[in-house]
Chain A
Amino acid sequence: MSIDMTSAPAALLPPQLMRTEALLTMSGLSKTYGSVRALRNVDVTVYPGEVMGIVGESGSGKSTLLRMMNLEDTPDQGDYRLQLPGKDDDNLFALDRYQRRMLCAHHIGIVYQNPHQGLLMRHSSSGNVAERLLIAGERSFDVLRSKARDALDASEFPLARMDARPAELSGGMQQRVQLAKAIALEPALLLLDEPTTGLDVSVQALVLDTLKRLQRDRRITMVLVSHDLGVIRTMADRVLVMRHGEVVERGLADQVFQDPQHPYTQQLVHAKL
């Protein structure tokens, strides 16, 4: 697939991404819930190894877009392709429930803002990670255990507590369990929906450090949703600004923050500074 010039003008791409094929391409996404138009003709392109930040006010459709990327929901219109080795890049919204589950288990990891959404609170933390591997067909107890330990370790989770229940852990630790679960199978795509919202500032910084380190060491492609411009600014290579279900601005993070074009983005950036 060649780079889509309308959704990602070449001038806005960082040089190292200029000639790569996109990992994720969503085009023409629209979704209406009752009378709410949650997404309106949204296009997104994400390149391998980059962090795509999505910002926007509450209700602008960020989580909805991420849920679509995780195939939890289907839009009214639009299609979604992932460039995965050995796979056809067919429209993923055409997949059935079973195919979606298998694709997500193997290739997509997600961290939700609310750990209750992503974790089984009454199972052990290592078990939460192991569930991923079990869905993918791993049947050796020792392998499950060592892979769960590795993923928790990479998420900088204290291994002495790997069998504690998430219900007994702090919010920051719960996010690390979610992260371990998300990266256990080395996904092509890591989705993060407000992963640090609700954590206190110092814990937030630690979790962000872990994410940065993961990104640097493993070059995991990430889509990071946050309404916190500071978080996006420290993490993202490129940014998409959403409002009322529409993308109002997109570009390199530095450009968008230094020279916002859309009045809404200008307002956001200046309110923040």
Chain B
Amino acid sequence: MSLSALTKPWAATSYGFLDASAKRELRRKMLKAIAVPGCQMPYASREVPMARGWGTGGLQVTLTLVNPASTIKVIDQGADDGVNAASIRRFISRVSGATETWDTLGASIIQSRHRVPEETLGADQILVLQVPNPEPLRGVEPNMSIARQMHADADYGRLWLTLYEQIVRKGRIMQGAAYPSLVNGRHVMTPSPIPRWDVPKLHMAKHLTFLSAGREKRLHAVPPYTRVEPLVFSDRPYRVEDHADLVCRRSGISGYFMNEIPQDHGGSAFEVSDSNLGIKAIRRAEGEPVEIGATWYQDGEFSA
């Protein structure tokens, strides 16, 4: 019996830019990542027509998941219309036949750089986060093979120490984006540089999240209904950014994560970072029948 006789035909998955064997490898690593939540899985990281560091990790995961029946949304810092987001979205739909959307509610796969949408994701949706640096221990242990041992031993004392040091030096924890978080009570992961605002959205979420770093060739996952707990001292509660009271100057909505836009007179204006949420709010205010889904935050308070 020949080897090819033992394997399934590859033709069926030969679309979507990546060849079938690349997809097969990625799919295996993605399944492993789901099986061990928050644990980083190395993968080969194929070439895609984009420079490393521009979301190639997320793209490879998306290309492995996507099929002609998928609906794909791509955001860059919350916006669907940025050059990179638009190019990635068009590329994915062109090579796979998937439908494009800006609407969080309608997307089956959402690839994102540095944000989780404000509308609550459901069990039939997958979030793919682009990750520049997947190793939360890099700052405390430059040697990656030792860092791996530390993960194996759940040896996170040094990481906790950096948080202790921030409070001692600055009076508060300075870690903004990429807040280290304990997944499923076992592995500490970096949730990619999403703001602190977004980390609670991953905790016990209905949706599946993949986090993939193309340059570093590692991916990890947060399966549905999995604990994601930011590392915090018991007497120093986790705090999200003070955005609850900011009002979007374009859509007038408030209680969501905002982009700060410096003004000539020295002050700042704010615009809702989840740009499609802002667009939907404007259209609804103009009388169009627009569906806005439930949001993780209500009136600036996390409520899911």
Q: Please give me the residue from chain B that is nearest to A128 by CB atom.
A: B161
Known pairs A139-B160, A163-B168; list 13 more (Cβ under 8 Å). A97-B153, A98-B154, A98-B155, A123-B165, A124-B169, A127-B164, A130-B161, A134-B161, A134-B164, A140-B235, A141-B234, A141-B236, A163-B169
- The complex places the Cα of A142 from the Cα of B235 at a distance, in Å, of 7
In angstroms, how far is the closest chain B Cβ from the Cβ of A227?
A: 32
- In angstroms, Cα B152 to Cα A135, docked, is 15
Do the beta carbons of A141 and B167 come within 8 Å of each other?
Answer: yes
Interface range on chain A (Cβ under 8 Å from partner): 10 to 19
Q: Give residues of chain B (126-178) contacting chain A, Cβ–Cβ below 8 Å.
A: 149, 152-155, 157-158, 160-161, 164-165, 167-169
**How many A-B contacts if CB must be within 8 Å?**
48
Assembled-state Cα–Cα distance A134/B160 (Å): 7
**A225 → chain B closest CB, angstroms:** 26
Contacts of B152 in A (CB 8 A): 98
Q: Contact between A123 and B161 (Cβ–Cβ < 8 Å)?
A: yes
Q: How far is B168's CA from A135's CA once the two chains are assembled, in angstroms?
A: 18
Interface residues of B (CB under 8 A from A): 149, 152-155, 157-158, 160-161, 164-165, 167-169, 233-236
Tell yes or no: A126 within 8 A of B by CB.
yes
| Residue in chain B with minimal CB distance to A131 | B161
A46 at the interface (CB under 8 A from B): no
A87 → B minimal CB distance (Å): 20
How far is the CB of A141 from the nearest CB of chain B, in Å? 4
Measured between beta carbons, the chain A residues less than 8 angstroms from B153 are 97-98, 101
A148 to chain B: closest residue by CB: B164
**Nearest 4 CB-CB pairs, A to B?**
A141-B233, A135-B157, A134-B160, A134-B157
Contacts of B235 in A (CB 8 A): 140-142
Q: Which residue among A120, A130, A134, A140 has the maximum number of chain B CB atoms within 10 Å of its CB?
A: A134
Chain A's nearest CB lies how many Å from the CB of B197?
23
Minimum CB distance partner of B163 in chain A: A141
Does A144 sit at the interface, judged by CB under 8 A? Answer: yes
B158, A139: Cβ atoms under 8 Å? no
| Contact assessment for A131 and B157 in the assembled complex, using a CB-CB cutoff below 8 Å | yes
Among B149, B153, B169, B236, the most chain A Cβ lie within 10 Å of the Cβ of B153
Contact with B along A141-177 (1 / 0, CB 8 A): 1101000000000000000000100000000000000
- Chain A residues within an 8 Å CB radius of B149: 97
- Closest beta carbon of chain B to A247's beta carbon, Å: 34
With both beta carbons as reference points, the residue of chain A lying nearest to B161 in the complex is identified as A131
Chain B residues with CB under 8 Å of A98's CB are: 152-155
Give a binary string over A229-251; 1 marks a CB under 8 Å from any B CB, 0 the rest.
Answer: 00000000000000000000000
Q: CA A139 – CA B237 in complex, angstroms?
A: 12
Please report which residues of chain A, range 87-145, place their CB below 8 angstroms from some CB of chain B when the two chains form the complex: 97-98, 101, 120, 123-124, 126-127, 130-131, 134-135, 139-142, 144
